[in-house]
Chains A and B, each alone.
Chain A
Amino acid sequence: MISSETVKHVAKLARLKVSDNEVNEYSKQLSRVLEHFESLKAVNTEGVEPLVTPNPASEYRRVDEVVPSKEANTWISHSPDKIGNLVKVPTVVG
């Protein structure tokens, strides 16, 4: 139901490295799961509005005020590679 090619494509979209073994395994497992999901097709959803958030919330909106935060290095200190307070990454193509 979901071919190895598709698994590779989806893994790429999700930036997940998958070995060839994993590709085959996932293809089988995901196909089984998707087959089960086929049962949804039988449910009549004509005119039914999709539900995203199950309950209404407070509709709170922030006032446009600056909330002081911690110093830059507090947050950037987590980065595995940095230059000063800038996060460093291998070059981005394009």
Chain B
Amino acid sequence: MATMQKIKNHAEELASQIRDGSFKAVDAVESSLDKIQKKNSALNAIISTLNERALDRAQQIDKATTRNGKLFGVPVVVKDNFCVEGSQTTAGSKILKGFVSNYSATVIERLEAQGAVVIAKANMDEFAMGSSNENSAYGAVKNPWNEACVPGGSSGGSAAAVASEMAPIALGTDTGGSIRLPAHYCGVYGLKPTYGRVSRYGIVAFASSLDQAGPMARSVRDLSLAYDSVAGFDHKDSTTYTETAVDTYSKLTSNIKGKRIGVVTSHIENVDQNNKELITKAIDTLKSLGATVVEIDLPYTENSISVYYMIATSEASSNLARYDGIRYGVRAEGATLDELYENSRGLGFGPEVKRRIMLGTYALSSGYYDAYYKKACQVRRLIKNGFQAAFEKCDLIVGPVATSSAFKLTERSQDPLKMYLNDIYTTSINLAGLPALSAPIGIQKDGLPVGLHLIAKAYDEQVLLNVALSLEEALPGFERTAGVRG
């Protein structure tokens, strides 16, 4: 639509124009829904749209007399594991097909309190288990930059939606890299906040001590607005941090003089040539902006995959026990109760989910608990300590998100272990509970985006956003949105 292209299509500007009445929320929502209609058959980023609900809300916003709200009238896409009252939430699985919740996630309530309009539920790896969004019961998502490639997972739909301009902002969840990896593969910003910053209430749980919801956007300012809208203590989630009000937006600055940037050279060495060039260039840019680079060591990176998969699958095996077809979701036939359980779950869950449930069940089972689950938790503490030691020498850590850009569909899906190893740089951050961000730093020779991984101390999202902003302003121009047909 012409009107949408007039503005820069960023949430910040859109909200401002809707607040002052120069742009209508209904137009913004209709434009987004229109884009989804045009692009989704190619990308399969969206599982369901909330047309009626969204337009209703948009109309109310246009009529409202009180016109404040950080994301006033802004269309937002949310991953399909966020419960939105009155709409379907599938978590990318057959077992929840048709499940319409009577409650919304706290994060959704907060977004809506800032005037945002949830327009669609994004496709995702089933129960957030995957790194490529090829594990969805609703079909794989395609990367808007190259439809033969994966968008990353598990928040692949959210990332593709933002990259293809279906909406300026999307919400995803990150358990082992599920926001940052798709952000990197799709050339958008993705923030995983500190564990405890954002409420998990109403989000379909994968791994309770690792999951964290976070925003994806095409600019740092938008990212900051979205983050501020959702973060803060929630009395419905016992793992949230005390601080109630979060305001990174008003403190955004691209002045990073004197910031100490920690780098693990071997991590960058491991990355493919195309990615390496861009990463090195980005780090040089940071130096030119007045930051200093310090070599640091993160000794347990190699172990993080094992620790992560041991803990995540253990927690998941328990979190997914409730999907039994008894009180909600899809129920299969069964002459006895056990048959009912086994059939419902056997048919309702996809293979990756079943694999992880079994792995987790095994890790917790009698005789294996000490060797597997407990051991993993001990190494987890060592990983956290390792970061704390590194942060004595630097203010944030910078490196690759993954060893390459987006790979081709089906390239790694035959071998679970190969897929797991893709998460080598992202999982340790969830284990340590730290905040991290993927910032697009360019398009490599194959035409695929590259993101830079920024990691900070617990609760220091501000430095991540500031450094990302400095790069946004200083890096030479490159395409920020995927040129998708239509």
Question: A–B direct touch, CB within 8 Å, in complex?
Answer: yes
Specify the chain A residue showing the minimal Cβ separation from B433.
Answer: A54
Contacts across chains A and B counted by CB atoms under 8 Å: 173
Specify the chain A residue showing the minimal Cβ separation from B307.
Answer: A40
Chain B: minimal CB distance from A44 (Å) = 9
Using A6-B362, A29-B416, A51-B384 as known contacts, say yes or no to A15 and B341 having CB atoms under 8 A apart. yes
Q: A83: which B residues are within 8 A, CB to CB? A: none
Using A70-B102, A75-B102 as known contacts, say yes or no to A90 and B358 having CB atoms under 8 A apart. no
Is the CB–CB distance between A16 and B349 below 8 Å? yes
Is the CB–CB distance between A55 and B433 below 8 Å? yes
Q: B380: which A residues are within 8 A, CB to CB? A: 50-51, 54
Q: Mark B315-329, 1 if CB is under 8 A from A, else 0.
A: 001000100111111
Specify the chain A residue showing the minimal Cβ separation from B334.
Answer: A90
Q: Is B155 an interface residue (CB 8 A)?
A: no
Q: Is B446 an interface residue (CB 8 A)?
A: no
Residue among B317, B327, B374 with the highest chain A CB neighbour number at 10 A? B327
* Chain B positions 377-413 with a Cβ under 8 Å from a chain A Cβ: 377-382, 384
- Cβ-neighbour of A80 out of B242, B331, B358 (below 8 A): B331
* Chain A positions 72-94 with a Cβ under 8 Å from a chain B Cβ: 74-76, 78-81, 87, 89-93
Q: Is B347 an interface residue (CB 8 A)?
A: yes
- Cβ-neighbour of B346 out of A16, A33, A54, A92 (below 8 A): A16
* Complex Cα gap A37–B378 (Å): 14
Is the CB–CB distance between B377 and A50 below 8 Å? yes
Binds A, one of B62-70, B158-166, B298-306: B298-306
Residue among A7, A39, A52 with the highest chain B CB neighbour number at 10 A? A52
Is the CB–CB distance between B358 and A7 below 8 Å? yes
Q: Is A13 an interface residue (CB 8 A)?
A: yes
Using A11-B358, A78-B328 as known contacts, say yes or no to A45 and B346 having CB atoms under 8 A apart. no
Is the CB–CB distance between A26 and B196 below 8 Å? no
Chain A: minimal CB distance from B321 (Å) = 8
Q: A66: which B residues are within 8 A, CB to CB? A: none
Is the CB–CB distance between A16 and B342 below 8 Å? yes
Size bin of chain A's contact surface: 35 or more
Binds A, one of B15-23, B233-241, B284-292: B233-241
Specify the chain A residue showing the minimal Cβ separation from B209.
Answer: A53
* Complex Cα gap A81–B354 (Å): 25
* Complex Cα gap A87–B336 (Å): 15
Is the CB–CB distance between B346 and A17 below 8 Å? yes
Q: B431: which A residues are within 8 A, CB to CB? A: 54
* Chain A positions 10-42 with a Cβ under 8 Å from a chain B Cβ: 10-11, 13-18, 22, 26, 29-30, 32-34, 36-37, 39-41
Chain B: minimal CB distance from A65 (Å) = 12
Q: Is B443 an interface residue (CB 8 A)?
A: no
Is the CB–CB distance between A91 and B337 below 8 Å? yes
- Cβ-neighbour of A40 out of B194, B195, B239, B376 (below 8 A): B376
Q: Is B335 an interface residue (CB 8 A)?
A: yes
Residue among A22, A43, A45, A91 with the highest chain B CB neighbour number at 10 A? A43
Is the CB–CB distance between B379 and A43 below 8 Å? yes
Is the CB–CB distance between B375 and A45 below 8 Å? yes
Q: B433: which A residues are within 8 A, CB to CB? A: 53-55
Chain A: minimal CB distance from B40 (Å) = 28
* Complex Cα gap A17–B328 (Å): 19
Q: Is A49 an interface residue (CB 8 A)?
A: yes
* Complex Cα gap A57–B335 (Å): 45
Is the CB–CB distance between A45 and B379 below 8 Å? yes
Is the CB–CB distance between A54 and B384 below 8 Å? yes
* Chain A positions 44-69 with a Cβ under 8 Å from a chain B Cβ: 45, 48-58, 60, 62
Is the CB–CB distance between A51 and B327 below 8 Å? no
Is the CB–CB distance between A78 and B335 below 8 Å? no
Q: Is B466 an interface residue (CB 8 A)?
A: no
Is the CB–CB distance between B241 and A74 below 8 Å? no
* Complex Cα gap A76–B357 (Å): 27
Is the CB–CB distance between B379 and A90 below 8 Å? no
Chain B positions within 8 Å of A, measured between CB atoms, are 99, 102, 194-196, 209, 233, 235, 238-242, 300, 302-303, 305-307, 309-310, 317, 321, 324-331, 334-343, 345-347, 349, 351, 354-355, 357-359, 361-362, 365, 371-372, 374-382, 384, 415-417, 420, 431-434, 458
Please name 7 further chain A to chain B contacts, defined as beta carbons within 8 Å, in addition to the given A2-B362, A39-B306, A53-B209, sorted by A numbering.
A17-B343, A30-B362, A33-B416, A39-B303, A54-B431, A90-B337, A90-B340
Q: List 10 A-B contacts (CB under 8 A).
A: A13-B361, A22-B351, A39-B303, A50-B374, A50-B380, A53-B195, A54-B384, A58-B233, A90-B336, A90-B337
